A and B are shown apart, each in its own frame.
Chain A
């Protein structure tokens, strides 16, 4: 037994080290791009172009790590609010799986709904240990999304919550939840078309 272990320790570690060195040597890497042309005029032109990409008017920033939402105009923050974003957990059922994450990137407020009704997706039933409804009417649930819901695309919304004590934590299925006063203020201030930046 001792001999076998000694043999194993003699062969395997050097083999692992050697193979990792080979792997490192063979790992493809991207070439470094060539430097762009340089002149002060060119830099000024590029900076103007960069400035033009920054959002005009109102925009919303969402920090999914800190669970904070800001409504801004230029550099001025008009609203700072605690929010809740995706819990990051995965749900698996009958070969299907869902990851409850808030999507990141650039979005846009596509529409506002007052007194929204939630159309429960499949995972909502499965998560509660229920079977999927046969009748579609069983999917609709009132008074769970707060006073307003703002669609940001791909089925995600900024909406209210019944669980105010959960604000500031990653607890949602991907939507962004806000407390009632902040949601009302955000809905009043941010027009349809407002850019939403989630990071």
Chain B
């Protein structure tokens, strides 16, 4: 347990323990295609964006049109025969995300400018590049930008990865047909994806 690489490899081993073939919303048989189009249609009827996790990319869509694509560099994922539709239950960042709460007493009266300093805003740069995504059907995904920034953050990431792995394992033990996976992408894409994802958002995977 002293070796952090063990922690890092544990979830991967857990995911690989599940039967593995093709992953995600792969287009194949008629049944698969029908499921995929039906789910896309259901999500297109909503007023908000949805995401589709596929082999090579995570795709954000609105009204049935692709609005943003996040290329995936590497994925270790458990398999399922047919595409599935679920919604986001929670997203958990490895490192706590920044919040800016201003109390009126702290505000300096400067009518010439509204917001200007980077300290006063929350932008996509403040988003974490490593996070866990839990869906309402029990499936879990660990999404990472793969860059290491210090020992402490490295440990936090490994801890989150381990939690995701354990959640996946326990749900499998409960006999739930859940999926899990580790998705790697470039840090910028990971931050943008975290920004985009909201609870209750539709997910096809």
Interface residues, chain A, CB within 8 Å of chain B? 21, 24-25, 27, 29-33, 35-40, 42-43, 46-47, 49-51, 53-55, 61, 63-66, 87-94, 100, 104-106, 126-130, 163, 166, 169-173, 197, 199
Cβ of A127 to closest chain B Cβ, rounded Å = 6
* Interface residues on chain B, size class: 35 or more
- Partner pick for B171 among A29, A64, A88, CB 8 A cutoff: A29
Residues B107 and A61 in contact, CB atoms below 8 Å apart: no
Q: Known: A65-B124, A88-B100, A88-B123. Is A46-B34 also a contact (CB below 8 A)?
A: yes
Q: Known: A24-B166, A29-B138. Is A46-B37 also a contact (CB below 8 A)?
A: yes
List residues of chain B with CB within 8 A of the CB of A61: 67
B153 within 8 A of partner (CB): no
Residues B41 and A49 in contact, CB atoms below 8 Å apart: yes
B85 within 8 A of partner (CB): yes
B92 within 8 A of partner (CB): no
Residues A38 and B34 in contact, CB atoms below 8 Å apart: yes
Residues B38 and A36 in contact, CB atoms below 8 Å apart: yes
CA distance A88 to B121 in the complex (A): 6
Max chain B Cβ within 10 angstroms of own Cβ: one of A39, A61, A66, A170: A170
Residues B63 and A163 in contact, CB atoms below 8 Å apart: no
Interface residues, chain B, CB within 8 Å of chain A? 29-31, 33-35, 37-38, 40-41, 44-45, 47-49, 60, 62-65, 67-68, 82, 84-87, 99-104, 107-111, 113-116, 120-124, 136-138, 166-167, 170-171, 174, 176-178, 191-192, 195-196, 198
Residues B137 and A29 in contact, CB atoms below 8 Å apart: yes
Residues B110 and A128 in contact, CB atoms below 8 Å apart: yes
Residues B30 and A43 in contact, CB atoms below 8 Å apart: yes
Question: How many residue pairs bridge A and B at CB < 8 Å?
Answer: 166
- Partner pick for B62 among A21, A173, A197, CB 8 A cutoff: A197
Closest A residue to B80 using CB positions: A32
Residues A199 and B196 in contact, CB atoms below 8 Å apart: yes
Cβ of B183 to closest chain A Cβ, rounded Å = 18
List residues of chain A with CB within 8 A of the CB of B122: 87-89, 170
Residues A38 and B35 in contact, CB atoms below 8 Å apart: yes
Residues A199 and B115 in contact, CB atoms below 8 Å apart: no
List residues of chain B with CB within 8 A of the CB of A47: 37
List residues of chain A with CB within 8 A of the CB of B174: 25
Residues A24 and B170 in contact, CB atoms below 8 Å apart: yes
Residues A36 and B34 in contact, CB atoms below 8 Å apart: yes
- Partner pick for A54 among B45, B65, B123, B177, CB 8 A cutoff: B65
Residues A33 and B121 in contact, CB atoms below 8 Å apart: no
- Partner pick for A91 among B49, B63, B104, CB 8 A cutoff: B104
Cβ of A169 to closest chain B Cβ, rounded Å = 7
Residues B85 and A129 in contact, CB atoms below 8 Å apart: no
CA distance A117 to B41 in the complex (A): 41
